[in-house]
């Protein structure tokens, strides 16, 4: 049936009037509607990113520079004005350690999360497309790995490989990729059965092309949200391991071991609460970042999945 | 066979299989050790004969599968091996059995976890259920906001915050000894128990609330309301039978979470529990102790999850009254 050229089409008229917004404009509109908590989260993340990137220019002293007086209190509690947050147990400037710690802790967590998405995401996509013995093998393997609590598993593996940064990154990335694998596989499984994927395979595209160009763009939103959640989880795990003395090793500055070092006088807090500050400050830095990431992820999930308040 | 029995047996079999595979993974970790760790443990000065004897004691001259069978048979009889620490290069052996190290600490950890669960489970169920029933009220929103914040805090941050606030009231070191009275013990573990309660209540309350809201939105609840059943009747007769499974899952999941969270909290408060033992054994690379702790943690975790599944199956009305 041929359409009459003069016939009226409401869709056509709307289509003529509709403005084509650029990507930047759409992002800006979405941002303007974001709640305060999301804005707070984004600003905090931006500040952390800034400090992490430009750390060496912001820090007043060198990363492991030692000063004469150890365990000095904050400037506002009667300490030396040259060291705003005082000095630590061997006389290093706490503010400097905090700034370098941002770089190390966040950087390592980011690398680990990226690696875990690379492993888990790729295997998840392959399993979703392949659907054969490989899928069964990977899925059952992941089931077993997930049945061991990841902190315990990480501790056991660290006892074998020793606590160096590469082994820390590898162990946590592999353990965390099981979660990424599950999510990727389950969301990709719904996309793989679509006609356009079938069409792409029929016209002879390779599995890599189908993965990148047909499936990946369609499963991006849940993966991005998961990236935020995984990042804060990995970040917490690394901070906890460093706090236990098994993560990032000195003299590299990081927040987890700063909390540990700062806790030497914790039993005297009942008499002078400022003694808790050396561990509360880096612990608070960790907490603030995870809260910020959670706020942003929360908002992003609501936006992309149309979730209501009831979950 | 009755479908409930069949499903339960199937689930138990799967759980045993998982335990078996996990034990293989934990066992094979020792085979992944780089180089000759006999030399490492005994020190550079050890005589070749001493190292050889140590290797034979660990069974390193036998094939791996034979070693696994020996190991798992010993573990099943309660023999977890001998600790690496206390060995000297001279061949003098002052090491203690792993069970001797683990046993008193295991009971300490179980005491702490049990005490926490005793407070946290009723509290979070109450908060979760009331928040779900009074959905979107100010009460619901404030409980939600507080729990979202405590969820994102690392355990050690919460612990130090509590220390700053409550240091004058409760002791900040939880160095319990076996000859303490129950009251003293509870006072000593007040702060670690409170820290874990805060973390776990947040998780459990949110999960209970989500599960209940999901349930209350289902058509048969709406039907019961429309036919004029009272509010109490709707909840007790219609909602509750289907709510047992999700609630059991939530509780077991969080008890399993408690098992892991205990590691960090024990270190903060210097509590002599199994989590701290594991951390110490990992940093001194005392593999038999680390293996034993990992096995205990993993087995508890798997068994708790298994229990949740079984409770979910046993209370499922669809399986109990098959058509």
Nearest CA in chain B to A267: B172
Write down the mean pLDDT value for chain B: 80
Beta-carbon separation of A149 and B33 below 8 A: no
What confidence tier does A98 reach under pLDDT thresholds 50, 70, 90?
Answer: confident
Q: Is A141 on the interface with B (CB under 8 A)?
A: no
Tell me the per-residue pLDDT of B56-110, one tens digit each, with 9 for 90 and over: 776 666 777 777 888 788 778 777 777 776 665 555 555 677 788 888 888 888 8
Task: Name the residue facing A144 among B22, B136, B160 (closest C-beta).
Answer: B22
Set of chain B residues whose Cβ sits within 8 Å of the Cβ of A245:
279, 283
Q: Where is A137: in which H helix or E strand?
A: helix A133-146
Give B164 to chain A, closest Cα distance, Å: 6
Give every CB contact of residue B37 below 8 A, 6+ residues apart in sequence. Answer: B287
Beta-carbon separation of A280 and B213 below 8 A: no
Set of chain A residues whose Cβ sits within 8 Å of the Cβ of B161:
280
Please, what's the largest Cα pairwise distance for chain A? Answer: 91
With 90 as the cut, is the pLDDT of residue A38 above it? no
Q: Is A299 on the interface with B (CB under 8 A)?
A: no
C-alpha span between A270 and B277 (Å, rounded): 27
What confidence tier does B43 reach under pLDDT thresholds 50, 70, 90?
Answer: low
Q: Write the CA distances from B216 to B136, B222, B223, B224, integer angstroms.
A: 14, 8, 11, 11
Task: Name the residue facing B157 among A151, A156, A283 (closest C-beta).
Answer: A283
Give every CB contact of residue A178 below 8 A, 6+ residues apart in sequence. Answer: A120, A142, A145, A146
Tell me the per-residue pLDDT of A197-238, one tens digit each, with 9 for 90 and over: 888 888 888 888 888 888 888 888 888 888 888 898 899 888
- CA A263, A265, A268 angle in degrees (round to 5)? 130
Q: Is A104 exposed, middle or buried (0-12, 13-18, 19+ CB in 10 A)?
A: buried
This prediction's pTM: 0.82
Which of these, A215, A202, A203, A205, lies nearest to A129 by C-alpha position? A215
Please name the residue that has the structure tokens 């066992």.
B27
The per-residue DSSP string of B77-106 comes to TT---B-STTB-TTS-B---BHHHHHHHHH
Q: What is the pLDDT of residue A310?
A: 39
Beta-carbon separation of A244 and B168 below 8 A: no
Q: Within a 10 A sphere around the Cβ of B219, how many other Cβ atoms?
A: 7
Give B184 to chain A, closest Cα distance, Å: 18
Tell me the per-residue pLDDT of A189-198, one tens digit each, with 9 for 90 and over: 888 888 888 8
CB B102 within 8 A of CB B93: no
Beta-carbon separation of A279 and B259 below 8 A: no
Q: Assign domain B106-283 to its CATH architecture.
A: Orthogonal Bundle (1.10)
ipTM of the complex model: 0.79
Name the more confident of A309 and A22: A22
CB B228 within 8 A of CB B71: no
DSSP letter (8 states) at residue B172: S
C-alpha span between B89 and A272 (Å, rounded): 47
What value does the mean pLDDT take over residues B277-298? Answer: 83
Write down the mean pLDDT value for chain A: 81
C-alpha span between A255 and A282 (Å, rounded): 5
The CATH number corresponding to A37-304 among 1.10.287.70, 3.40.50.300, 1.10.3720.10, 3.40.1800.10 equals 1.10.3720.10
Give A2 to chain B, closest Cα distance, Å: 46
CATH 1.10.3720.10 domain position(s) in chain B: 106-283
Which of these, B92, B83, B80, lies nearest to B53 by C-alpha position? B92
What confidence tier does A308 reach under pLDDT thresholds 50, 70, 90?
Answer: very low
Tell me the per-residue pLDDT of A158-202, one tens digit each, with 9 for 90 and over: 877 777 888 899 999 999 999 899 888 888 888 888 888 888 888
C-alpha span between A270 and B165 (Å, rounded): 9
Q: Write the CA distances from A156 to A230, B69, B71, B289, integer angstroms.
A: 21, 21, 17, 10
What confidence tier does A115 reach under pLDDT thresholds 50, 70, 90?
Answer: very high
Using left for φ > 0, alpha for ψ between -120 and 50, and beta otherwise, residue B111 falls in: alpha
With 80 as the cut, is the pLDDT of residue B222 above it? yes
Q: Taking the C-alpha atoms of A267, A270, A272 and A278 in order, what is their torsion angle to the nearest 10 degrees? A: 40
Measured in whole angstroms, the distance separating CA A274 from the mean position of its chain's CA atoms is 31
What confidence tier does B145 reach under pLDDT thresholds 50, 70, 90?
Answer: confident
Phi, psi of B87 (to 5 degrees): -95, 140
What value does the mean pLDDT take over residues B174-191? Answer: 78
Give B299 to chain A, closest Cα distance, Å: 8
Beta-carbon separation of B279 and A311 below 8 A: no
The shares of helix, strand and coil residues in chain A, as percent rounded to the nearest 5, are 75, 0, 25
Tell me the per-residue pLDDT of B21-36, one tens digit each, with 9 for 90 and over: 888 888 877 666 655 5
C-alpha span between A168 and A160 (Å, rounded): 11
Give every CB contact of residue B74 below 8 A, 6+ residues apart in sequence. Answer: B80, B81
């Amino acid at each position: 049936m041929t359409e009459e050229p003069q016939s009226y089409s409401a869709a056509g008229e709307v289509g003529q009037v509709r403005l084509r917004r650029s990507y930047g404009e759409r992002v800006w509109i979405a941002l303007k509607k974001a709640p305060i908590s999301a804005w707070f989260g984004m600003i905090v993340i931006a500040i952390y990113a800034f400090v992490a990137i430009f750390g060496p220019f912001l820090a007043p002293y060198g990363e492991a520079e030692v000063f004469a007086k150890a365990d000095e209190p904050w400037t506002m509690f009667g300490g030396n004005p040259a060291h705003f947050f005082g000095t630590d147990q061997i006389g290093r400037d706490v503010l400097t350690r905090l700034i370098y710690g941002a770089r190390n802790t966040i950087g390592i967590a980011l690398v680990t999360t990226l690696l875990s998405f690379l492993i888990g995401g790729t295997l998840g996509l392959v399993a979703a497309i392949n659907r054969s013995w490989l899928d069964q093998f990977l899925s059952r393997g992941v089931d077993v790995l997930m049945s061991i609590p990841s902190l315990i598993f990480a501790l056991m593996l660290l006892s074998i490989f020793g606590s160096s940064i590469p082994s820390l990154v590898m162990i946590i990335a592999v353990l965390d990729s099981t979660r990424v694998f599950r999510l990727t596989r389950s969301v990709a499984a719904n996309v793989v059965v679509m006609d356009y994927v079938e069409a792409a395979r029929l016209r002879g595209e390779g599995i890599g092309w189908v993965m990148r160009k047909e499936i990946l763009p369609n499963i991006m939103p849940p993966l991005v949200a998961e990236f935020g959640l995984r990042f804060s989880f990995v970040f917490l795990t690394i901070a906890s391991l460093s706090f236990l003395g098994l993560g990032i090793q000195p003299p590299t500055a990081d927040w987890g071991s700063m909390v540990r070092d700062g806790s030497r006088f914790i039993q005297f807090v009942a008499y002078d609460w400022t003694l808790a500050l050396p561990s509360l400050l880096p612990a608070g830095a960790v907490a603030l970042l995870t809260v910020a990431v959670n706020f942003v992820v929360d908002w992003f999930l609501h936006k992309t999945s149309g979730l209501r308040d009831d979950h | 066979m009755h479908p409930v029995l069949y499903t339960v047996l199937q689930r138990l079999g799967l759980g045993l299989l998982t335990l078996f595979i996990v034990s293989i993974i934990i066992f094979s970790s020792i085979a992944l050790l780089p180089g000759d760790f006999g030399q490492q443990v005994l020190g550079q000065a050890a005589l070749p004969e001493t190292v050889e004897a140590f290797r034979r004691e660990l069974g390193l001259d036998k094939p791996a599968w034979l070693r696994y069978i020996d190991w798992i048979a010993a573990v099943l009889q309660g023999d977890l091996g001998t600790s690496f620490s206390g060995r000297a290069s001279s061949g003098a052996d002052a090491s203690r059995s792993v069970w001797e190290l683990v046993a008193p600490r295991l009971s300490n950890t179980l005491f702490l976890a049990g005490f926490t669960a005793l407070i946290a489970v009723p509290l979070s169920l109450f908060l979760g259920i009331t928040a779900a029933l009074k959905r979107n009220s100010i009460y619901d929103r404030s409980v939600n906001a507080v729990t979202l914040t405590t969820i994102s805090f690392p355990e050690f941050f919460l612990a130090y915050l509590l220390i700053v606030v409550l240091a004058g009231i409760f002791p900040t070191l939880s160095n319990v000894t076996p000859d303490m009275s129950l009251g003293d013990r509870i006072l000593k573990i007040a702060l670690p128990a409170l820290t874990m309660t805060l973390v776990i209540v947040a998780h459990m309350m949110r999960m209970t609330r989500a599960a209940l809201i999901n349930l209350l939105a289902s058509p048969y609840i709406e039907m019961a309301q429309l036919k004029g059943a009272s509010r109490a009747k709707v909840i007790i007769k219609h909602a509750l039978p289907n709510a047992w499974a999700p609630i059991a899952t939530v509780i077991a999941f969080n008890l399993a979470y408690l098992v892991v969270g205990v590691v960090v909290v024990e270190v903060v408060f210097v509590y002599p529990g199994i989590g701290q033992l594991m951390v110490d054994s990992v940093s001194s690379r005392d593999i038999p102790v680390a293996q034993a702790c990992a096995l205990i943690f993993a087995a508890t975790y798997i068994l708790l999850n298994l229990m949740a599944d079984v409770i979910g199956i046993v209370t499922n009305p669809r399986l109990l009254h098959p058509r």
